[in-house]
């Protein structure tokens, strides 16, 4: 079995187990694995992927020591809740 066949079998196992397809925010690799098979964190482990593109990009930015201007706006996407009416 070649390395490519082993990687494909490994990927197929995660897909079979119901792991969602994720896209790495750094290298744009799509995978069902729980971490990017290409990108690593500072300690050398695979960069974790959740399947939520916003969260994955924030984790990547934090891992790269990038400045995040407004984390709450980034996570909420500019959502502003409507204030509740006060009952009298």
Q: pLDDT, tens digit, for every residue of 61-88?
A: 887 788 888 787 777 776 667 766 777 6
Burial class of 22 by CB neighbour count within 10 A (0 to 12, 13 to 18, 19+) = buried
- Where is average pLDDT lowest: 9-13, 36-40, 82-86? 82-86
Burial class of 15 by CB neighbour count within 10 A (0 to 12, 13 to 18, 19+) = middle
Structure-block tokens of residue 75:
């996570």
Give the model's confidence band at 13: pLDDT under 50 very low, under 70 low, under 90 confident, else very high.
confident
Q: List, in order, residues 6 or more apart from 10 with CB less than 8 Å away.
A: 33
pTM value? 0.59
The label of the residue with tokens 């729980």 reads: 34
Structure-block tokens of residue 53:
């593109």
Structure-block tokens of residue 33:
């694995």
Residue with the bigger pLDDT between 79 and 26: it is 26
């Amino acid at each position: 079995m070649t390395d490519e066949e082993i990687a494909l079998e490994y990927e197929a196992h995660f897909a079979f187990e119901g792991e969602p397809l994720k896209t790495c925010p750094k290298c744009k690799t799509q995978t069902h694995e729980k971490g990017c098979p290409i990108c690593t964190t500072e300690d050398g482990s695979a960069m974790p992927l959740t399947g939520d593109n916003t969260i994955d990009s924030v984790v990547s930015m934090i891992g790269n020591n990038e400045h995040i201007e407004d984390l709450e706006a980034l996570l909420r996407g500019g959502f502003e809740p409507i204030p509740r009416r006060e009952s009298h």
